[in-house]
């Protein structure tokens, strides 16, 4: 009896989690009329690829949106890790006076209202001539993702036994050599998890591309979806769901690749750093 109830509830939970995603994918294979029929069909009556073909050959350059998003998010992840790894290492191993306050401060930095950064960022990029460019967007994404990346990386680096580093020091390694040759290989899974997290956050970000990019061809996928809703997809929910499915796939792949070490990354910093 108890088991039946348990599986019933699990079934309900699965339906709650998966039904919307199922609906998105199914709708993307329906034609425009069938997509919003008053009595919805749970499988497409006449499955069609027209919505996906419409993305590739429509009036909007979806391929460049896809490339823009992928490039800027990958660049952000790489740049953020390049800065965050040594910073986290310094916070984890350094013995300087401000170490404690900085470690805790990072969590507080994370609370910065996005918009507090947006106005100065906009004016800064305007002055640097980087407004409306992917480089400027990468700067924006990195600003936002960096503090948390440091926090996650510190959690991972804290778990590396200090004895290993001392052995390396005895062998005559310089400080940066210890970081690059000893610590980084040991925390590689953590580094990849953190990078993926930054990647996902940038992919999710809508406010930065909307306000920092003005040329449509340079937009990212999420912003393009938002902008095209008033245009190309106004009533075309099939096309909208096809664009959504395409936007979801890369994130889904990235997420499930690192899902296992995600837990440690998200709580590790808090447990070890508090």
Q: Which stretch binds other proteins (CB under 8 A): 49-57, 163-171, 187-195, 251-259?
A: 251-259
Residue 223 Cβ vs other proteins, minimum distance, rounded to whole Å:
8
Among 157, 184, 203, 239, binds other proteins (CB under 8 A): 203
Query: What would the two tokens of residue 219 be?
Result: 């937009």
Residue 251 Cβ vs other proteins, minimum distance, rounded to whole Å:
5
Residue 46 Cβ vs other proteins, minimum distance, rounded to whole Å:
18
Residues 81-114: b if buried by 16+ CB within 10 A, e if exposed: beebbbbbbbbbbeeeeeeeebbeebeeeeeeee
143 makes contact with other proteins (CB under 8 A)? yes
Residue 163 Cβ vs other proteins, minimum distance, rounded to whole Å:
24
User: Which residues 6+ apart lie within 8 Å of 53 measured at CB?
Assistant: none
Q: Which long-range CB contacts under 8 A does 179-182 form with residues at least 24 apart?
A: 179/85, 179/86, 179/89
Q: What sign does the CA torsion over 257, 260, 261, 266 have?
A: positive
Among 54, 147, 190, 239, binds other proteins (CB under 8 A): 147
Helix axes 188-204, 237-273, angle to 10 degrees: 140
71 makes contact with other proteins (CB under 8 A)? no
Q: What angle do CA 267, 248, 213 make, to 5 degrees?
A: 90
Query: Cβ closer to other proteins: 21 or 167?
Result: 21
113 makes contact with other proteins (CB under 8 A)? yes
Among 1, 43, 46, 274, binds other proteins (CB under 8 A): 274
Among 90, 180, 186, 216, binds other proteins (CB under 8 A): 90
Query: Cβ closer to other proteins: 56 or 270?
Result: 270
For the CA atoms of 43, 48, 52, 58, what is the dihedral angle to 10 degrees?
Answer: -130
Task: Please report, as residue ranges, which positions from 31 to 50 form the binding site for other proteins (by CB under 8 A).
Answer: 35-40
Task: Please report, as residue ranges, which positions from 50 to 69 form the binding site for other proteins (by CB under 8 A).
Answer: none
Taking the C-alpha atoms of residue 266 and residue 55, their distance in angstroms, rounded to an integer, is: 36
Residue 83 Cβ vs other proteins, minimum distance, rounded to whole Å:
5
């Amino acid at each position: 009896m108890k088991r039946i109830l348990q599986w019933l509830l699990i079934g309900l939970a699965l339906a709650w989690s998966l039904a919307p995603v199922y609906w998105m994918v199914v709708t993307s294979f329906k034609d425009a009329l069938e997509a919003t029929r008053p009595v919805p069909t749970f499988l497409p009556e006449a499955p069609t690829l027209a919505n996906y073909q419409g993305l590739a050959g429509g009036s909007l350059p979806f391929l460049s949106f896809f490339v823009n998003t992928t490039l800027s998010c990958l660049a952000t992840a790489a740049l953020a890790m390049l800065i965050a790894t040594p910073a986290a290492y310094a916070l984890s191993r350094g013995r300087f006076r401000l170490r404690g306050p900085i470690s805790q401060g990072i969590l507080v930095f994370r609370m910065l209202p996005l918009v507090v950064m947006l106005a100065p960022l906009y004016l800064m990029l305007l002055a640097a001539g980087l407004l409306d460019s992917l480089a400027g967007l990468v700067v924006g994404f990195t600003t936002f993702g960096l503090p948390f990346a440091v926090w996650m990386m510190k959690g991972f680096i804290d778990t590396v036994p200090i004895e290993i580093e001392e052995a390396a020091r005895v062998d005559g390694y310089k400080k940066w050599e210890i970081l690059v040759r000893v610590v980084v290989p040991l925390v590689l899974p953590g580094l990849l998890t953190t990078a993926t997290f930054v990647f996902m956050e940038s992919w999710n970000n809508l406010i930065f591309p909307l306000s920092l990019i003005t040329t449509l061809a340079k937009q990212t996928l999420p912003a393009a979806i938002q902008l095209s809703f008033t245009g190309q997809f106004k009533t075309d929910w099939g096309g909208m769901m096809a664009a959504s499915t395409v936007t979801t796939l890369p994130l889904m792949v990235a997420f499930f690749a690192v899902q296992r070490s995600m837990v440690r990354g998200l709580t590790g910093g808090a447990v070890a750093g508090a």
